[in-house]
Amino acid sequence: MNGDHQSTDLYDRYKQEMQKLADVKYSAAVLQWDQETYLPPKGADFRGRQIATLSEISHQMFTDEKVGNLLQDLVSKELPAEQKRNVELTWEDFSRLKKLSPAFVRKMSEAVSASFHAWVEARKRNDFSIFEPLLAPLVDLKRQEAELFGYEGHRYNALMNEYEKGATVAMLDQVFSDIKTPLIDLFSEIQQKTVADDRFLFQHFSREKQWEWGLYLAKQLGFDLEAGRQDISEHPFTTSFSSRDVRITTRIDENDFANMTWSTIHEVGHGLYEQGLPSRQYGLPLGEYASLGIHESQSRLWENCIGRGSAFWQFYYPKLQQYFPSQFSNISKEQFVKAINKVQPSFIRTEADELTYHFHVMVRYELEKRLIEGSLQVHEIPLYWNDQYKALLGVNVKDDKEGCLQDVHWSHGSFGYFATYSLGSFYAAQFWEKAKTDLPGLEAGIASEGKTDELLEWLRDKVHRHGRYYTSDELCALVTGKKLDSTVFVNYLRQKLNVL
């Protein structure tokens, strides 16, 4: 009995330490959210300092020897399954982050803040050369970080592992190699068909009405606005300070209806996942998302499997016509669904169709891999980017804003992130296939009543409640009966696009 009491006391101490650490980390996250939404331009320098200080403090707290000793004591104890998994995952995190000094963490945080503001300015002025001097030292730091973490095989593996545990260059090279030819073949087939007319999506849509429409969709899909909010940012994103405080952002182009609608649905997918994580595990690994690949599976499932599906618009298209009568009153639901699924080469990843989207990801994956290994230098990014877009998508990039400045990720230091977008789409297709099997009336209910609550409950039970208990492949196998299989995505896409 004394052993049981000792284990309980130790675990309670561990939980208190982790939750205290979470308080500091989420305080920094609030400042980062504000930096991307409401921070006045002149506050940038001090905000960078504030975030760096909190990042340094949280790193010192987590890598303190007393935390290490506590974890070592707990690792050997008999604990209930959930508690044991929390301790194992925290020990992994501790062992990895212990390799970084507080000074390095602060330096990285300062470099990220500086590069973010440079990226915003570079986008405004459509000039990569403004971003380049701040990005170059950040890339150097990411190379150093990879060396500090250690890796087998490619240096890039160390960075990808931060977002998708176990992901390697060898694995992803194979994944992209397997899917590239089927996607190119399907793309060629579709190019032979009559191209959908989507010009009506590029009329004038007032900012106010789009905002109202976006909030309506968020509520309808189950995003709890008493446990979250939506705002505007340069690049849509989701951040969370707990499952009861989840922030999503969108952007609005008054001359492009698709921009806001599907970025909103995408971020709602992320937000629903965050709100579905167990609040009793606040500050602990089982209160965190499984991986970014799984996180992206949630956003891509809602954005594409649901939000670009015919069943969804069977119910919601009349609602959309009420919001924008002059723009859509003479457009049929069938015309609309064909237009929003139009397959064509494009410049902007976040606005790409479901098929060519993965060519955008492949360009970024290859570029980052070369940057981190050192075979490509930062000043060479625009030329490399433009060449790859011409080779893979057949388009001529006209400027930096629609080219290599379009994504916020590098300014955040998020190298190793992009591949998870494709992995997320592949996981989403498997989850969607399984959900339709488990919930036979799902699509009929969406079409007749707009009911997505059954799907959300299914995802909460199958995916959200587990937190980080399983790796991506383990979770995929648990939910669908098999590990990642990109052919499911190809079949889903072929079936969908052949119908349209």
DSSP states along 62-79: HT-HHHHHHHHHHHTS--
Q: Are residues 488 and 391 in the same domain?
A: yes
Instruction: Give, as one character, the DSSP assignment of residue 227.
Output: S
The predicted model gives 481-486 an average pLDDT of 95
Q: Are residues 324 and 198 part of one domain?
A: yes
Percent of the chain surpassing pLDDT 90: 96
Q: What mean pLDDT is predicted for residues 30-53?
A: 94
Give dist(CA 9, CA 29) in Å, integer. 30
Among residues 70, 99, 126, which one ends one of the domains?
Answer: 126
With bands split at pLDDT 50, 70 and 90, how would you rate the model's confidence at 351? confident
413 φ/ψ sector (left φ>0, alpha ψ -120 to 50, else beta): left
Q: What's the predicted TM-score (pTM) here?
A: 0.93
Say if residue 173 is in the same domain as residue 121.
Answer: no
pLDDT digits (tens, 9 = 90+) for 118-139: 999 999 999 999 999 999 999 9
pLDDT on residue 3 = 60
What is the reported pLDDT for 7?
81
Q: Whole-angstrom Cα distance, residue 153 to residue 170?
A: 9
Predicted pLDDT of residue 301:
98
Per the structure, the count of domains in the chain is 2
Whether 260 and 327 share a structural domain: yes
Q: Give residue 457's pLDDT.
A: 98
Instruction: Read off the pLDDT band of 8 (50, 70, 90).
Output: confident
Give the pLDDT confidence score for residue 59 in this predicted structure. Answer: 95
What is the percent of the chain where pLDDT is above 70?
Answer: 99
Residue appearing with tokens 């991307």: 36
Let me know whether 487 and 359 are in one domain.
yes
* Within-domain flag for 345: yes
Contacts of 250 (CB under 8 A, 6+ apart): 214, 230, 231, 232, 233, 236, 260, 263, 264, 267
Q: Does the pLDDT of residue 1 top 70, yes or no?
A: no
Tell me the residue type at 55: S
Boundary (domain end) residue, out of 107, 126, 145: 126
Q: Do 211 and 122 have their domain in common? A: no
Residue 106 in any domain: the answer is: yes
pLDDT of residue 499: 59
pLDDT, tens digit, 9 for 90 and up, residues 85-106:
999 999 999 999 999 999 999 9
244 and 367 part of one domain: yes
Q: What is the CA radius of gyration of the chain?
A: 23
Residue 353 maps to a domain: yes
Tell me what the mean pLDDT of segment 477-499 comes to.
93
144 lies in some domain: no
304 and 409: one domain?
yes
How far, in Å, CA of 19 to CA of 363, rounded? Answer: 39
- Residue 478 contacts residue 470 (beta carbons within 8 Å): yes
The CATH number assigned to the domain holding 413 equals 1.10.1370.30
- The per-residue pLDDT for range 69-81, each reduced to its tens digit, is 999 999 989 999 9
- Predicted confidence (pLDDT) at residue 49 exceeds the cutoff of 60: yes
Query: Can you tell me the mean pLDDT for 377-399?
Result: 97
Q: Does residue 58 sit in the same domain as residue 181?
A: no
My answer on whether 344 and 474 are in the same domain is yes
- Which of 69, 97, 126 represents a domain boundary (last residue)? 126
Assess if residue 160 is contained within a domain. no
Domain that holds residue 40: 2-126
Which residue among 110, 267, 303, 354 is the active-site one? Answer: 267
Q: What is the mean pLDDT of the segment spanning 466-489? A: 96
pLDDT higher than threshold 60 for residue 52: yes
Q: Which residues contact 63 (CB under 8 A, 6 or more apart)?
A: 94, 97, 98, 100, 102
| pLDDT for position 500 | 52
**Annotation marks residue 433 as catalytic:** no
264 and 348 together in one domain:
yes
Domain contains 133: no
Question: Model confidence over 235-286: pLDDT tens digits?
Answer: 899 999 999 999 999 999 999 999 999 999 999 999 999 999 999 999 999 9
206 is a domain residue: yes
**Are 53 and 193 in the same domain?**
no
User: Helix count (H) and strand count (E) of the chain?
Assistant: 21, 3
pLDDT of residue 241: 97
pLDDT surpassing 80 at residue 4: no
Supply the mean pLDDT for the chain: 96
Question: Does the structure show a pLDDT above 90 at 197?
Answer: yes
For residue 350, the model assigns a pLDDT of 86
Residue at 134 is within a domain: no
